[in-house]
């Protein structure tokens, strides 16, 4: 368990390091001086200067940073970020975001070779490997969550007073649960190599849009692709996941604007919650773990491109305004907006972390 947490933690840190490396590479490419590339956040534990850049290891293991000459304040120097053409500054900023998508593409391409678990129809029976019914969503505060069910769990067997069901068909599991609403059902669950039993009582009548048990199910099977086809499938999966993430953000924002709150099953996770899901995916196997890293990478890409000061998308907005005005946004205004929205993000992260701790522990 400790090793799993360790691997999950450094996988998440690795994504942030690669993100900063994207900024670093693009800055070097356009001749901008990079003063420091740091892993972790200050105070500094160790630093070594190679050429003009200090490479450092820092005490707080919560990410990474790259200090680009002339990014925080305008400096009259040809090596300064602030003196470069707008199009070059745009490439330096989006370099970090693009890395997230590249990482997702590479990981998903590898997963396609190892074998990807994909959703299949109940009627499909040709060339399927390890077909099964899996849980793909667990609604908060539902009987399923109370019973300890998790996303990725495999439903191996169901048992109630009026019978027993062993199947790999999603509809049959759904019908069995519906037929036993208000009655205790024993679930035999496989989670990675572990098999255990738990029980729940499906609600009757069920809340709207949540279902009786509070779970969404899908029939899945393993599909493997050849090495030459895997990159195409990896690219397709990256695009589809990006679209799904954007649609999810739009749905959440729409619900919040119209006053309906978060959609059923949707949760805002902080670092603790993300780490918890990381460890769950690692327990399910390398395939699930790699796919979750790719998904987080895509989430980070979409989040970072949002037009919010303190994020890469916000910096692009300021550059867009500069392009229209033919002069930069006053430095004081940009800094104040950045600090304000950074503080809001920190408050949101702190709030989500407290919720994660209460929910998990």
Tell me how far apart the alpha carbons of residues 71 and 266 are, in angstroms, rounded to a whole number: 37
**What confidence tens digit (pLDDT) does each residue in 4-63 have?**
777 878 888 899 999 999 999 999 999 999 999 999 988 999 999 999 999 999 998 878
Euclidean distance between CA atoms 319 and 76, whole angstroms: 18
pLDDT of residue 261: 65
Euclidean distance between the first and final Cα of the chain, in Å?
16
**Distances from the Cα of 118 to the Cαs of 31, 211, 219, in angstroms?**
45, 23, 8
More confident residue, 279 or 99: 99
Residue 132's DSSP bridge partners are 220
Average pLDDT over residues 158-179: 93
Provide the pLDDT for residue 196: 95
- Delineate the domains of the chain, giving CATH numbers in brackets: 119-223 (2.30.42.10)
Q: Which residues contact 219 (CB under 8 A, 6 or more apart)?
A: 119, 120, 121, 122, 131, 132, 133, 134, 168, 169, 170
**Nearest residue to 299 via CA among 248, 243, 263, 245:** 245
The dihedral sign for the CA sequence 150, 216, 203, 262: positive
Does residue 96 carry a pLDDT above 80? yes
Report how far apart, in Å, the C-alpha atoms of 347 and of each of 9, 333, 340, 342 are: 22, 21, 11, 9
Stretch 270-278: mean pLDDT, rounded?
A: 79
Alpha carbons within 13 angstroms on the beta-carbon side of residue 88 total 17
User: Regarding predicted confidence, which is higher, 319 or 352?
Assistant: 319
Residue at token pair 């690692």: 282
Give the pLDDT confidence score for residue 99 in this predicted structure. 96
Q: What are the residues whose beta carbons fall under 8 Å from the beta carbon of 89, sequence distance 6 or more?
A: 81, 319
> Among candidates 65, 82, 64, 85, which has minimal Cα distance to 73?
82
- Say if CB 308 and CB 314 are below 8 A apart: yes
14 torsion bin: left (phi>0), alpha (psi -120 to 50), beta (else): alpha
The answer, yes or no, to whether the previous bond of 43 is cis (omega within 30 of 0) is: yes
Q: Tell me if 229 sits within 8 A of 223, measured CB to CB.
A: no
Please tell me the predicted confidence (pLDDT) of residue 133. Answer: 95
Residue 1: pLDDT over 70: no
Q: What angle do CA 255, 136, 202 make, to 5 degrees?
A: 85
**What pLDDT was estimated at residue 263?**
62
pLDDT digits (tens, 9 = 90+) for 198-235: 999 999 888 887 889 999 999 998 888 888 999 999 99
Work out the pLDDT band at 84, boundaries 50, 70, 90. very high
Element (H, E) at 154: strand 154-160
Pairing mode of beta strands 194-200, 53-68: unpaired
Return the ∠ at Cα 263 (arms to 222 and 221), rounded to 5°.
Answer: 5
Residue pLDDT, tens place only, 130-152: 889 999 999 988 999 999 999 88
Residue 260: pLDDT over 80: no
**Residue 191: both structure tokens together:** 């989670």
């Amino acid at each position: 368990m400790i090793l799993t947490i360790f691997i999950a933690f450094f996988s998440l840190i690795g994504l942030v390091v690669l993100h900063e490396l994207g900024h670093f590479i693009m800055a070097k490419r356009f001749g901008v001086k990079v003063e420091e590339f740091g892993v972790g956040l200050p105070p500094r534990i160790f630093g070594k200067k190679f050429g003009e850049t200090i490479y450092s290891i820092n005490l707080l293991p919560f990410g990474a940073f790259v200090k680009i000459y002339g990014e925080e304040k305008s400096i009259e120097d040809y090596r300064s970020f602030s003196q470069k053409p707008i199009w070059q500054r745009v490439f330096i900023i989006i370099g970090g975001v693009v890395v997230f998508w590249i990482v997702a593409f590479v990981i998903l391409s590898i997963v396609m070779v190892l074998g990807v678990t994909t959703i299949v129809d109940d009627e499909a029976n040709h060339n399927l490997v390890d077909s099964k019914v899996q849980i793909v969503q667990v609604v908060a505060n539902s009987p399923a969550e109370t019973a300890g069910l998790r996303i990725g769990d495999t439903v191996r067997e169901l048992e109630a007073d009026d019978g027993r069901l062993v199947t790999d068909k999603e509809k049959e599991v759904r019908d069995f649960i519906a037929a036993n609403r208000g009655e205790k059902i024993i679930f035999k669950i496989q989670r990675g190599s572990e098999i255990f039993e738990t029980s729940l009582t499906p609600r009757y009548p069920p809340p709207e849009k949540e279902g009786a048990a509070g779970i969404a199910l899908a029939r899945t099977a393993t599909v493997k692709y050849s090495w030459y086809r895997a990159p195409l499938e990896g690219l397709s999966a990256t695009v589809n996941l990006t679209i799904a993430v954007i649609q999810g953000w739009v749905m959440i924002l729409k619900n919040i604007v119209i006053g309906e709150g978060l959609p059923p099953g949707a949760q805002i996770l902080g670092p603790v919650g993300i780490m918890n899901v990381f460890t769950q995916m690692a327990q399910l196997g390398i395939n699930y773990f790699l796919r979750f890293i790719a998904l987080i990478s895509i989430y980070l890409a979409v989040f970072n491109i949002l037009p919010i000061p303190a994020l890469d998308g916000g910096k692009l907005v300021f550059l867009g305004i500069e392009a229209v005005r033919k002069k930069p946004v006053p430095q004081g205004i940009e800094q104040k907006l950045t600090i304000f929205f950074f503080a809001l993000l920190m408050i949101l992260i702190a709030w989500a972390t407290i919720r994660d701790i209460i929910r998990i522990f």
